[in-house]
Structure 1
């Protein structure tokens, strides 16, 4: 109420002063110093224009004598998203509406093609309202309960906690966009939760031996024999790789960073990152990083096929992929700025396969071909 009184009194005073000034101008009387220089004043009749100049802010109040309503400042329009009045892209509309006639396989192929042809709409910081859901669909990741993630957090420090703390403060340290959005505490929590998850998968529960009395009781009961379920081939291979993996290796912090940056919650980032390191590239998190070294050998072989002259030039200088491409292979080019372009690259990799990161690294070398060939060092 006090604020309303102040606004009202200000408008009344403005209107009153305007009426006084208008009356004086109508009479044509003004006061000016005397030309004699004795400091006295005298009334002099001046010719004034018929209309008096005024500001646009109180023009309506002066003419009509009504109060001017105070308008709230307008909020800036959203650059991305699906609010009212915002035109959706073809990719976003397809993602929201789903495949036509429930054809999931054909719809997934169309979704991948739209990622390749029209790219995800994002602002200058690389933020998109639907990118994280696109990643979850392309990687076929089921929903994760928040309580499950919180249970891992509440277990405290994992056996790899000290290694995690030695790397988190260096994660994309020179990227202002990442530092502004993702805190070191969230990185520590997510990596620690993944470490606990990998630790639990390595520890196999011991089967409890069956007592002789229980065996006799089960033999007396006429029950059909249980047929053991055949494990899936992919599941057994993945479980064996996870069993041989470490719970944390250097470089997982950078590989985790884009997930946290693009996600709308830590639970989404946890689901994506854990699935990615255990299903898509389990060789990357093994103690010896076998998957990374195999990728580096693939970079050399692909470059020899596509650009033999450039491959021979780098080989003559003693430059193999293990020396210059190790971070790019390990982090799927997340170490190469700018971060918004990394997110667009990952859209493509998740749509058509993370193994294409090797081809993308070779493409980077081809774009720098002339510069590399002309460099004396």
Structure 2
């Protein structure tokens, strides 16, 4: 028996061409690379010039596919075993390629059944639908809304929302909308606010938007300044309309008489103006502002995570009017209450650290104002901010106060060893949302009920 040929030395040693075909053209290195490439990508042997490649026929490490029982070959015995079935994607070689006047026949396989479409990620691999995504898609089971919301919260706490390295998730924005119970906002409503042009605070908005997360490349790559201006301007118009309702027409004398009879007392001059409009409130603090500095940073993560400006508008407007209206009032009284609560909670959780900071004159008003106002959005990286917000929106934005205390606790050793902690606290270390959330949950058990009640109400 002849010795086993070497795969590398025998690749160019093909069968000699027939006389009718004439001498074969010399094989180029490029063509040899094509043969080797095809050999490595297929799991069956293929023949050239009617002969199998030695590296395949003699077991070069590529597993051969079994020949179907009903396959027919041109030879007998061992020649049939060496003659494999052609891959259905293989084309017939032209005469110029093979060096023979006889073209290799194209053998086709019956068409395969079309597979159902599967969900794939950006890499093209199959992705199993997560429980969070399934719950958001299917909605509450049997109308049990409260139970479903509780299940959503537990999923957020126990499992991180699936996202890519940039923090982008296909269903995070819908999670936020569901947790806040925000109904869909018509696109025309948002466009109508945008088309009204410049709001009364347009100049203030333009003075802030260009520096919003200016050092964050992820935000700059995804969110334009123009979209940030449009959204803030639209929210400003919405707040302006709420605080300054359109004047109603003066009621007729008959309607006025009926109204007086209904309340059993005539209206006084102080209760109704000469134009028949309700009296304007003199307390501008209670009335609120339509834009304050810092709203641009608070708005940024909504725009980054949303799939459209309309979704970001619905979330941001709800947040500043329902969840934290005290943060955007003219005097920002909610933010100042939050700062005082940072000091109180730090005294409860870590009295030694609090005492050291107070001895250095370091109250929270000197270092924690941006973190309170923006829900830690001022501290990079942005993907960690989004992860932290998943937790805050699930269990309440008031927990941001304890998240700030958790960041101080993680800096404890460096602060206690520093003679000037104000330098350390000018900028907090990069966020690590998992560790901050874990500490925050442990701190909740230490907070007395009355202080926790103040946490819940401080931003209202």
* Class of the TM-score when normalised by the shorter of the 2 chains: 0.7 to 0.9
Q: Summarize the Cα distance change of 1:303–1:241 in structure 2 as closer, same or farther, 3 Å threshold.
A: farther
Distance 1:90 1:297 in 2: 39
Equivalent residue in structure 2 for 1:269, among 312, 319, 324? 312
Answering whether residue 84 of structure 2 is matched by residue 105 of structure 1, we say no
The Cα shift of 1:98 comes to 2.1
Q: How far did residue 192 of structure 1 move?
A: 0.3
Under a length normalisation based on structure 2, what TM-score does the superposition of the two structures give? Answer: 0.62
Q: Matches of 2:209 and 2:149 in 1, distance apart? A: 35
Q: Distance in 1 between matches of 2:226 and 2:24?
A: 73
Q: Which has the higher contact order (CA 8 A, sep 6+)?
A: 1
Deviation at 1:94, TM superposition (A): 1.9
> How far 1:209 sits from its partner (Å)?
2.4
Aligned to 1:154: 195
1:314 aligns with 2:362: no
- What whole-Å deviation, never above 9, does each CA across 1:114-173 have from its counterpart, x for those lacking one? 110112100100000100000001011111000000000000000100000000010000
CA RMSD of aligned residues (A): 3.5
8 Å contact from structure 1 (residues 202, 243) kept in 2? no
In the alignment, what sits opposite 1:66? Answer: 92
2:206 matches 1:180: no
Distance change >3 Å, CA 167–CA 63, structure 1 → 2? farther
Moved over 4 A (4+): 18-24, 27-31, 57-65, 213-216, 240-243
- Per the TM alignment, residue 241 of structure 1 is displaced from its structure 2 partner at its CA by 9.4
**Count of residue correspondences:** 313
1:144 paired with 2:170, answer no
Deviations 1:67-111 (A, max 9, x none): 599xxxxxxx6159xx99320122222222223222111111111
More divergent stretch after superposition (110-119 vs 296-305): 110-119
Sort the Cα spacing of 1:55 and 1:327 in 2 relative to 1 into closer, same or farther, 3 A: same
- Is the 1:284–1:292 contact (alpha carbons within 8 Å) kept by the matching residues of 2? yes
Q: 1:277 to 1:61 in 2, by over 3 A?
A: farther
Q: List per-residue Cα deviations over 1:322-376 (Å, max 9, x = no partner).
A: 1111110010000111100100100000000000000000001001111110112
1:328 equivalent to 2:404? Answer no
User: Helix, strand or coil for the counterpart of 1:247?
Assistant: coil
Structure 1 pair 67–203 and aligned structure 2 pair: CA distance change class (3 A): farther
Q: Which runs of 5+ in 1 are unaligned?
A: 1-17, 32-51, 70-76, 220-224, 227-239
Aligned to 2:53: none
Q: Does 1:304 align with 2:351?
A: no
TM-aligned CA deviation for residue 19 of structure 1: 12
Hey, what does 1:55 align to over in structure 2? Answer: 34
Q: Is the 8 A contact 2:17 2:24 kept in 1?
A: no
TM-score of the superposed pair, with normalisation by structure 1: 0.75
What's the secondary structure of 1:115's corresponding residue? helix
| Contact 1:251–1:330, Cα closer than 8 Å, also in 2 | yes
Q: CA offset at residue 190 of structure 1?
A: 0.1
For 1:168, the equivalent position in structure 2 comes to 209
Distance between the aligned counterparts of 1:283 and 1:214, measured in 2? Answer: 38
* Aligned CA distance change for structure 1 residues 99 and 66 (closer, same or farther; 3 Å): same
Partner of 1:93: 134
Q: Which of 394, 406, 418 is the matching residue for 1:363? A: 406
The match for 1:350 is: 393
Q: Please state if 1:78 is matched with 2:104.
A: no
TM alignment of 1:6-21, pairs within 5 A: none
Change over 3 Å in CA distance of 1:177–1:30 after alignment to 2: closer
* Runs of 5+ consecutive residues of structure 2 not aligned to the other structure: 1-11, 40-45, 51-90, 95-105, 107-119, 264-282, 421-460
After superposition, the Cα gap between the structure-2 partners of 1:54 and 1:177, relative to the gap in structure 1 and judged at 3 Å, is closer
Alignment correspondent of 1:293: 336
More helix by share: 1
For the residues of structure 1 that align with 2:204 and 2:32, how far apart are their CA atoms? Answer: 73
